[in-house]
């Protein structure tokens, strides 16, 4: 199984920008913790960060046929990008969105969320720990999908016997 973690604009500046909102943890530290969880669970993980909307759309599309799950923090594009929303919808891969801050308690424009309706879940306001929660949630989703596929296959085999 493979999970792709997609990080949007300005997340490369974590640990530097607005520490009162996003905290002191750097993106590399978050990714290291996620990699540890993936390794412990026998899951491949890939990380991608871009400040460009089109590159994020391309990365989501590249996940089709290559990954079983996506964890995305589209950052500011959450509130504006129909293109990212459409890409997530098109690939039909379980996707969990993460936001370090609680976007619902911030500026009015951040309360508009273009991605949530096409994601399996949204995790907001837990700081960097939200990525750990997303990993746990994605592992659960993938295990449930695997169990359902195995049960379906077994039922087909029994029907043919």
Candidates 22, 31, 104, 152; catalytic one: 22
pLDDT 10s digits, 81-132: 999 999 999 999 999 999 998 887 777 777 789 999 999 999 999 999 999 9
- Residue 126: count of CB within 10 angstroms of its CB: 16
- Per-residue pLDDT, 119: 97
Q: What is the pLDDT of residue 57?
A: 98
Look at residue 20 in the predicted model and tell me its pLDDT: 80
Mean pLDDT of 48-58: 98
Whether the CB-CB separation of 6 and 73 falls below 8 Å is answered with yes
Residue 22: active-site member: yes
Q: How sure is the predictor about 23, in pLDDT bands with cuts at 50, 70 and 90? A: confident
Q: Compute CA distances 121 → 20, 51, 136, 150, whole Å.
A: 26, 23, 12, 24
CATH number of the domain enclosing 78? 3.40.50.9100
Cα dist from 64 to 2, 34, 44, 130, whole Å: 11, 21, 15, 24
> Would you say 101 and 124 are in contact if contact means Cβ atoms under 8 Å apart?
yes
Exactly one of 99, 104, 131, 132 is catalytic; name it. Answer: 99
Write the CB contacts of 84 (distance below 8 Å, at least 6 apart in sequence): 53, 56, 57, 60, 72, 74, 77, 114, 115
Domain ranges, residue 30: 2-160
The stretch 58-79 carries a mean pLDDT of 97
pLDDT the model gives residue 52: 98
pLDDT, position 103: 85
Rounded to whole angstroms, the Cα distance separating 83 from 117 reads 14
Catalytic residue check, 99: yes
Question: How many domains in the chain?
Answer: 1
């Amino acid at each position: 199984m493979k999970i792709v973690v997609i990080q949007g604009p300005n997340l490369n500046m974590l640990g530097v920008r607005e520490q009162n909102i996003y905290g002191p943890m750097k993106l590399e530290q978050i990714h290291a913790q996620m990699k540890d969880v993936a390794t412990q669970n026998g899951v491949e993980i890939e990380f991608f960060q871009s400040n460009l909307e089109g590159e994020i759309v391309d990365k989501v599309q590249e996940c089709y046929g290559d990954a079983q799950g996506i964890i995305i923090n589209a950052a500011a594009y959450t509130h504006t990008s129909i293109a990212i929303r459409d890409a997530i919808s098109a690939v039909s891969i379980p996707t969990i969105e993460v936001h370090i801050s609680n976007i619902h308690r911030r500026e009015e424009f951040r309360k508009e969320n273009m991605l949530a309706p096409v994601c399996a879940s949204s995790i907001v306001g837990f700081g960097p720990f939200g990525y750990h929660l997303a990993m746990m949630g994605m592992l659960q989703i993938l295990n449930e999908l695997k169990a359902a596929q195995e049960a379906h296959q077994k039922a087909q085999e029994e029907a043919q016997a």
